[in-house]
A and B are shown apart, each in its own frame.
Chain A
Amino acid sequence: MSNTQKELLLFASTHRTAPLEIREQFAISADRVASLYSGLRGINSLEECLVLNTCNRIELYLISLKPEIKAAVEDHFCDFHNFEIDRLHKFSFWKSGIDVVNHLFEVSSGIDSQMVGETEITGQVKSSYQTAAEMASVGPVLHRVFQKCFQSTKWVRSNTTIGKGQISIGSVAVDLALRIFGNLTSSRILVIGTGEVGEKTVKALKSRGAHSITVSSRTYDNAKTLAKKIEGQAIAFEDFPNALSNFDIIVCSTASPEIIISSSMIKSAMHERPNQPMFFIDLAVPRDIESQVANIPNVFLYNLDDLAEIANENLNSRIAEIDGCRQILRERAERLWSGLEHNGITH
């Protein structure tokens, strides 16, 4: 075992310490990451380093032989981003020792994310680790810390409800569609209106296998543009009422001040497909679909408020799970830390 004491450090700026305009300045494009690594490796007594770079955080995990490294890292960071060092302290923070391990475990499991419990961050941490490994910037300590981090993340995700339930409108709509149709590969989708929320929702449906998408809009050109963008087809606004029975999922997001889909239209459509359910997603304000539609058997109607309520419920459930997860992760971090201390890592 080496007699030299190593220190585990974290330098970070996240959505908790820096507003969006500052995070924009700290953002690093993929092609510049190598340059940041190269600068960090030039710092004397820095043994290992790993850069976690996402839209909400820039974090440097460091193994150093001397505590004075902090100033050198800050200098390099400011040079790299052309940022004044006096302002940096306001938007960044340092952690050391077991606090770093705790922080990493919480970040990787989505507890520290803006959208609590989101899973994208786990992939980003893994990808950052891979990049650092490819650049030969991680050594035995960071390697062990990150391997344990992935194990803990997996455990928390499998054994708690931190990632359960969707928290975006599009994902909630996908979940509901899956509860109705099972899988979306053969579902036919009609998008009425070319609003942004509607487009995002259709993209979410598409990401789960839906590929038969038709767009309709009062302005046919807009329908064609969106259809091209999402690899669908367009139909004239006047034609969609007669074609309703051909679709399983109907997403409405028009700016129409009045109802565009009435109860009688859907009853008539259901007459042609009595045994096939229909799912209506009304994202428009004011609403596009008559509320009585919800009373028709085999027809499921969700408006923007319904979807937002489910998303909020899911988010609240995730938030309620944070303390439990934190406790579990802390115990795992402590176990890892006592092992690291044996190997010469100190605060």
Chain B
Amino acid sequence: MYSFISEERALIWTAALLYLVAFVFGFYSLSQSKRYPRIILLTLVIVGFLFQTLGLYERGLKTSTCPLGNPFEIIQFITWTAILLYLVIGPAFRMSLLGFFSAGLAAGLGLLSLLIPEWDRAYETGPFGINPWIETHASMALFSYGIFATLALTSAMYLVQNYGLKQKRSKGMVSFLPSILQLDQMNKRLLFMAVVVFTFAISVGMVQWVDDFSQIQNTKLIFALAIWLSYLIVLILRVINYLIGIKFAWTCVVLFTASLLTLWPIDASRSIVEESSSQQRP
């Protein structure tokens, strides 16, 4: 296990706490029916993002590989991607409250991963990774998870706005959320982007797998393909207008939760393989 108070963890702790402050600040403003000053939330998130980037960079130097080797690093990478997307999408599409939701997700998942030391166990590393293509596959796959995370957030925003409109609510958060139409269009774009990135990641992984079957565990392969196929089917159904509105939004939220949960069986299967390979080593 990596030291609970190592330098990179301290940086990531700072990032998570800044995200938490941003979320609490936004929540307080919204509970007062006030639009929070965007500049304050944006500053907190940007500073948090810089700390998180630095923390992951430090971890990368320590492990001499892309830091995606344990659940803690995977969660951190996903939340890092989600924040990066917010910083890109938020201003470009004027998605109000996306920063608030992204900060909440990054704070929640980030703190959870920090508070469970077992998730940050040490793993075998090599100089610049064993195989750069596998590194590419892993990082692109988790980048797509980050997009799925943002998609889950915008879908949740869609559900809240839809609920508010159906229930004739006009106060509080609903009055600051983007419109139903904007959120729906954003969901469609994010899903398309995520599926493209995930397909690329899967393709790279498949090429490696064809080269050497022993490199990939069956559990990981099955779960990864299942998630990819699920999102691909959702995209097709969305494009042909079969899965739309709240059903589509719910599907995106549920699918992301399921995707997160599949990280555990994938990670567990890898741990077993790592243990058995280390036992076989002279």
The yes or no answer to B241 lying at the interface (CB within 8 A) is yes
Q: Say which residue of A178, A274, A313, A317 sits within 8 Å of B241 (CB atoms).
A: A274
The yes or no answer to A32 lying at the interface (CB within 8 A) is no
Q: How far is the CA of A314 from the CA of B33 in the complex (A)?
A: 11
Give chain B nearest CB distance to A193 CB in angstroms: 22
Stretch at the interface among B47-55, B67-75, B109-117, B167-175: B167-175
Interface majority SS (helix, strand, loop, mixed), chain B: helix
The yes or no answer to B179 lying at the interface (CB within 8 A) is yes
Assess whether B170 is in contact with A277, with CB atoms less than 8 Å apart.
no
Please indicate the chain A residues that have their CB under 8 angstroms from the CB of B34 in the complex.
161
Q: Say which residue of B177, B179, B246 sits within 8 Å of A181 (CB atoms).
A: B179
Instruction: Give residues of chain A (58-99) contacting chain B, Cβ–Cβ below 8 Å.
Output: none
Assess whether B182 is in contact with A182, with CB atoms less than 8 Å apart.
yes
Assess whether B165 is in contact with A180, with CB atoms less than 8 Å apart.
yes
Q: How far is the CA of A302 from the CA of B165 in the complex (A)?
A: 9
Chain A residue with Cβ nearest B247: A297
Q: Say which residue of A164, A175, A181, A297 sits within 8 Å of B181 (CB atoms).
A: A181
Q: How far is the CA of A182 from the CA of B158 in the complex (A)?
A: 13
Please indicate the chain A residues that have their CB under 8 angstroms from the CB of B184 in the complex.
275
Please indicate the chain B residues that have their CB under 8 angstroms from the CB of A275 in the complex.
184, 241, 244-245
Assess whether A317 is in contact with B171, with CB atoms less than 8 Å apart.
yes
The yes or no answer to A300 lying at the interface (CB within 8 A) is yes
The yes or no answer to A264 lying at the interface (CB within 8 A) is no
The yes or no answer to B166 lying at the interface (CB within 8 A) is yes
Q: Say which residue of A180, A274, A300, A313 sits within 8 Å of B170 (CB atoms).
A: A313
The yes or no answer to B150 lying at the interface (CB within 8 A) is no
Instruction: Give residues of chain B (129-183) contacting chain A, Cβ–Cβ below 8 Å.
Output: 161, 164-166, 168, 170-171, 174-175, 177-182
Assess whether B170 is in contact with A161, with CB atoms less than 8 Å apart.
no
Give chain A nearest CB distance to B270 CB in angstroms: 40
Count of A interface residues, CB-CB < 8 Å: 26
Assess whether A165 is in contact with B170, with CB atoms less than 8 Å apart.
yes
Assess whether B168 is in contact with A179, with CB atoms less than 8 Å apart.
no
Q: Say which residue of B164, B181, B246 sits within 8 Å of A182 (CB atoms).
A: B181
Please indicate the chain B residues that have their CB under 8 angstroms from the CB of A261 in the complex.
none
Please indicate the chain A residues that have their CB under 8 angstroms from the CB of B170 in the complex.
165, 172, 175-176, 310, 313-314
Assess whether A180 is in contact with B33, with CB atoms less than 8 Å apart.
no
Please indicate the chain B residues that have their CB under 8 angstroms from the CB of A175 in the complex.
170, 175
Q: How far is the CA of A165 from the CA of B177 in the complex (A)?
A: 14
Instruction: Give residues of chain A (158-174) contacting chain B, Cβ–Cβ below 8 Å.
Output: 161, 164-165, 172
Assess whether B171 is in contact with A182, with CB atoms less than 8 Å apart.
no
The yes or no answer to A47 lying at the interface (CB within 8 A) is no
Q: How far is the CA of A275 from the CA of B244 in the complex (A)?
A: 6
Please indicate the chain A residues that have their CB under 8 angstroms from the CB of B247 in the complex.
297
Instruction: Give residues of chain A (165-203) contacting chain B, Cβ–Cβ below 8 Å.
Output: 165, 172, 175-176, 178-182
Give chain A nearest CB distance to B178 CB in angstroms: 7
Chain A residue with Cβ nearest B168: A306
Assess whether A182 is in contact with B168, with CB atoms less than 8 Å apart.
no
Please indicate the chain A residues that have their CB under 8 angstroms from the CB of B32 in the complex.
161
Please indicate the chain B residues that have their CB under 8 angstroms from the CB of A310 in the complex.
168, 170
Please indicate the chain A residues that have their CB under 8 angstroms from the CB of B179 in the complex.
178-182
| Residue from the set B171, B174, B247 with the largest chain A CB neighbour count within 10 Å | B171
Assess whether B244 is in contact with A298, with CB atoms less than 8 Å apart.
yes
Q: How far is the CA of A300 from the CA of B163 in the complex (A)?
A: 11
Assess whether B181 is in contact with A274, with CB atoms less than 8 Å apart.
no
Give chain B nearest CB distance to A66 CB in angstroms: 47
Please indicate the chain B residues that have their CB under 8 angstroms from the CB of A297 in the complex.
244-247
Give chain A nearest CB distance to B251 CB in angstroms: 14
Contact with B along A101-114 (1 / 0, CB 8 A): 00000000000000
Assess whether B161 is in contact with A313, with CB atoms less than 8 Å apart.
no
Assess whether A180 is in contact with B166, with CB atoms less than 8 Å apart.
no
Assess whether A179 is in contact with B171, with CB atoms less than 8 Å apart.
no
Give chain A nearest CB distance to B125 CB in angstroms: 47
Contact with A along B26-40 (1 / 0, CB 8 A): 000000111000000
Please indicate the chain A residues that have their CB under 8 angstroms from the CB of B33 in the complex.
161, 164, 317
Chain A residue with Cβ nearest B32: A161
Q: Say which residue of B171, B175, B180, B246 sits within 8 Å of A180 (CB atoms).
A: B180
Please indicate the chain B residues that have their CB under 8 angstroms from the CB of A277 in the complex.
180-181
Contact with B along A280-315 (1 / 0, CB 8 A): 000000000000001001101010001001100110
Chain A residue with Cβ nearest B182: A182
Q: How far is the CA of A164 from the CA of B174 in the complex (A)?
A: 13
Assess whether A179 is in contact with B180, with CB atoms less than 8 Å apart.
yes
Assess whether A179 is in contact with B166, with CB atoms less than 8 Å apart.
no
Residues of A within 8 A of B (CB): 161, 164-165, 172, 175-176, 178-182, 274-277, 294, 297-298, 300, 302, 306, 309-310, 313-314, 317
A sample of 11 more A-B contacts (CB under 8 A), given A298-B244, A313-B170, is A165-B170, A175-B170, A179-B180, A181-B179, A274-B241, A274-B244, A277-B180, A297-B247, A300-B166, A309-B168, A317-B33
Query: Can you identify 29 A-B contacts, CB atoms within 8 angstroms?
Result: A161-B32, A161-B33, A165-B171, A175-B170, A175-B175, A178-B179, A179-B161, A179-B174, A180-B165, A180-B180, A180-B181, A181-B179, A181-B180, A182-B182, A274-B241, A275-B184, A275-B241, A294-B166, A297-B244, A297-B245, A297-B246, A298-B245, A300-B165, A300-B166, A302-B168, A309-B168, A310-B170, A313-B170, A317-B171
